Amino acid sequence: MFDIATQLFESPDIRFGPIDYEKDPEIESKWTHNAEFMRLYEFEPARPMSAAIVKKQYEKLEKKIEEDKNLYHFMIRATADDRLIGKAMIQRIDWANGNCSLRVGIGSTDDQRKGHGTQALKMLLRFTFAELNLFRVTANVAEYNEGAIALVKKLGFTEEVRRRQSLEREARRWDLLVFGLLKDEWLKQVQA
């Protein structure tokens, strides 16, 4: 399918990288103070976190990855200077059935609307299908997250389930949309 030399973690403007415990907690702490970002990225109540708490969360995450073996996490870094700009996750991997959930977030408003999310999701899909050998991916998106809906549709996802009124925010209920993409569908896109 692809050359072994093809870089899994490099894109024109962004790259996947590991957690940098020195620099990243401070940056991610800032994202958590942005209520808009938190409400797009999380279904849990938004809460601002200190760098110390973010650091603890990184430790918990790395432990979970090692113990549960059904989860991958990548920091999204700017190719130019390795600056942290977002994060990406492959979650709830069901190895027997070959499926998983994907999540991508670009943390700071200045870095959004530049195509970074698209590059990140493309790399995440390639990793999932060509390195983890999974069969299908799911993306769960809130009805009010227009950016994410546009992104997954652009990359060929199909809206499969409308979980009616599953979320509550701003004193009203919202639908949660479930999008799916199968390996064959992804291959067709990539080879086109």
Site for other proteins contains 132 (CB under 8 A)? no
Nearer to other proteins, 84 or 139 (CB): 139
Site for other proteins contains 160 (CB under 8 A)? yes
Residue 111: count other Cβ atoms within 10 Å of its Cβ: 18
CA geometry: angle 151, 10, 154, nearest 5 deg? 15
Residues 141, 102 contacting (CB under 8 angstroms):
no
- Give, as ranges, the residues between 91 and 110 that touch other proteins (CB under 8 A): 94, 96-99
Residue 167: count other Cβ atoms within 10 Å of its Cβ: 15
Count of residues touching other proteins (by CB under 8 A): 46
The string of DSSP letters for 1-66 reads: ---TTS-SSB-SSEEEE---TTTHHHHHHHHHT-HHHHHHH-SSPP----HHHHHHHHHHHHHHHH
Nearer to other proteins, 113 or 162 (CB): 162
Site for other proteins contains 170 (CB under 8 A)? yes
Residues 114, 86 contacting (CB under 8 angstroms):
no
Nearer to other proteins, 50 or 189 (CB): 50
Nearer to other proteins, 14 or 125 (CB): 125
- Give, as ranges, the residues between 18 and 77 that touch other proteins (CB under 8 A): 29, 32-36, 39, 43-53
Name the residues that contact other proteins, by CB under 8 A: 29, 32-36, 39, 43-53, 94, 96-99, 135-136, 138, 144, 158-173, 178, 180, 182
